[in-house]
Structure 1
Amino acid sequence: MSKFIIMRNNRTLLNETVFYLTPEQKAMLMVLLAETKSPDSLGTKYDEKEAKDTMQYMHDALLNRVKSPKAHELDVPKHGNKLIGLISGPRTIEGFQQYPNIKNDIKDRIDSMIATANDGTHSKFLAYRRLITNAINIAKSNKISNVEIVAWRTIGRGSPGPNFIKVFSLQGQDFYKLSDSYLK
């Protein structure tokens, strides 16, 4: 049986196909896997399409911030690697403030997802493989599906700030755009 080997020298091996990941793609992949629901998430029924859509919106939010004319006001650093700087910023993504080092509970969750995808005896190993494959494909893409989304928060955590307008909720996350008055 083929196995995933994730993040060895910025390479990903999936079913014996090697995907090379840039440092930015690797960071994005880690965020997507950390932030989306998995087939074994407690309290909700897993929906593969919703998981894929949620990861795409998270991807879009980060890239939209980097590309925004107001990027410097959206926690994007002025110098250095903008995407990795945003991801590792103190207010952006919980547990990623010291990226490439991430909080142990998040790292353990990602490692568990990968282990399950490699365990052919696990009843949901194919669902985990599809989830990770979708995350890799989204992380490698520069395509933005939604140009408005700039933030997400766990449902019930409130808005990221007064200039953020909730657009929709999906998979336990609220997604936000910037208010028209702020963009003027």
Structure 2
Amino acid sequence: MKGLNSPGFTGRFNVFCGWGCAGGEAKGEEREASISELSDGYLESRSTQWGSTIDRRGFHLTKLLRNDGSVIGAQITLVAGDLLPFKVSGLGPDRRHLILMSDHPAAKVMPVSVNHRDVEQRLTLKVSGCGVSCHQIAHVEAYVSDERGHPLSRDLDTPRLTVQILPRLELPPAVTETGMLARMLISENAGPENTRFVSLDEAREAMQWMVVVLRNRLKLGASHFAAGRDVSTLEALIKAPNQVDGFEKYPSIGSLQQRLIDKVIKNANDGTHRLNKQYRDYLETALAVARSELWSADPCPTGLYAWRTNEAKSPGNNFVQFATKGGQDFYTLTNDFISKAQSRAEGRR
């Protein structure tokens, strides 16, 4: 018999195939495959028909895959209530599917389609929507099973999957000032998938500047901004006509603004979304600004008094553009207007 490195070796070998092979070939059938790699003493090959890696012992090396075919890494992040459909491609040393089990009560692996004649099995990783109030860690490990499907021992060839479980992010009640501010900040700012989104830092500054605008309007007098003489609180100002689009009938919010708010909350709480972290950071920033945990001094010497979407029409002749931040143009007022407004306010005292 010629050795692997001998001149007469053709680079082909036969793989003994059991019930684990794709298509359910009869046990004992031999199939020809080409050598692709020599590693750690194991002869590995790639079969174009089977589409998975097998070793010289004749069973398929397992891989955890997302439904789009991409490989699941050693660690993933999910949010309470998430469902992650995934596939396990390959078989255990007994030519049967491995059993995947979680060591955490909040994470459960559920079978969807398991057939030992198929190389691939479909499973779902379900994270409980209840009882997750803080960051938690779960581990999913693979086990070799007996003929009745009971786990026998851990399969050391399949790496452990670490699952970071995060609690859901919720908005404060709509009836609170914090809840109202949070909803307004989300609806008025450019989120992660918006073409005007620059960075999280710019979004944070834009949110902070918006709060500065609202407080400056109250301080100078809401009546100067067509909000009415009796407006003296943030809630009343946000609900006043010609102030914030979609919030005139708050807590009922305009459909366009509500859809945007719902989208941000949904994606921030969906660990399977490709931009989950960005949405989660964005929502957490809006909540922190609304709670005054992230605040900003007025960046403008004459004060900020308005904002508009970048390159939109100016709010009026008395406004002067100060800067663009996070896809928003921020405005101050002319010195003449501020002086007259302050004089009128002093005259009423």
Structure-1-length-normalised TM-score: 0.83
Give 1:39 deviation, angstroms.
Answer: 1.0
1:160, 1:61 → 2: CA distance? 13
Which residue of structure 2 aligns with residue 173 of structure 1? 328
Q: Does 1:6 align with 2:171?
A: yes
- SS of the aligned residue for 1:133 comes to helix
Please give the alpha-carbon distance, in whole angstroms, between the structure 1 residues aligned to 2:212 and 2:280: 22
| One-letter amino acid matched to 2:268 | A
Equivalent residues in 2 for 1:27-42, closer than 5 Å: 27-41=180-194
Whether the 8 Å contact between 1:76 and 1:83 is mirrored in structure 2 is no
Give the Cα separation in 1 of the matches to 2:320 and 2:198: 27
Partner AA of 1:83 in structure 2: L
Over 3 Å counting, the alpha-carbon distance change for 1:106 and 1:173 in structure 2 is same
Match of 1:149, SS?
coil
Name the SS for the 1:166 alignment partner: strand
Matches within 5 A, 1:1-184: 1=165, 2-7=167-172, 9=173, 23-41=176-194, 43-44=195-196, 46-68=198-220, 70-79=221-230, 82-141=233-292, 143-146=295-298, 148-184=303-339
Asked if structure 1 preserves the Cα contact closer than 8 Å seen for 2:197 and 2:203, the reply is no
Between the aligned partners of 1:5 and 1:170, the Cα distance in structure 2 is 26
Assess, with a 3 A threshold, how the Cα gap between structure 1 residues 45 and 134 changes in structure 2: closer, same or farther. closer
Alignment partner, residue 28 of structure 2: none
Unaligned runs of 5+ in 2: 1-164, 340-349
Q: Give 1 or 2 for the bigger CA radius of gyration.
A: 2
Question: In structure 2, what is the equivalent of residue 14 of structure 1?
Answer: none
Matched letter for residue 190 of structure 2:
K
State how many pairs are aligned.
Answer: 170
For residues 123-175 of structure 1, the C-alpha deviation after alignment (integer angstroms, 9 at most, x for no partner) is 21111111111111111118442161111011232211111111011232110
The offset of 1:45, in angstroms, is: 5.3
CA shift in 2, pair 1:130/1:95, >3 Å: same
Separation in 1, partners of 2:263, 2:290? 19
**Helix, strand or coil: the match of 1:121?**
coil
CA–CA distance in structure 2, aligned partners of residues 45 and 173 of structure 1 = 10
Divergent runs of 4+, >6 A: none
Instruction: Give the fraction of aligned pairs with identical amino acids, expressed as a percent.
Output: 31
Shift of 1:116: 0.5
Does the 8 Å CA contact 2:241/2:248 hold for their aligned counterparts? Answer: yes
- Structure number with higher strand proportion: 2
TM-score normalised per structure 2: 0.46
Aligned equivalents of 1:164, 1:31: Cα separation in 2: 22
Structure 1 gap ranges (5+): 11-21
1:44 positional shift: 4.2
Considering Cα pairs closer than 8 Å and 6+ residues apart, tell me whether 1 or 2 has the greater RCO.
1
Change (3 A) 1:24 1:75: farther
* Residue 49 to residue 144, structure 1, CA distance change in 2 (3 Å): closer
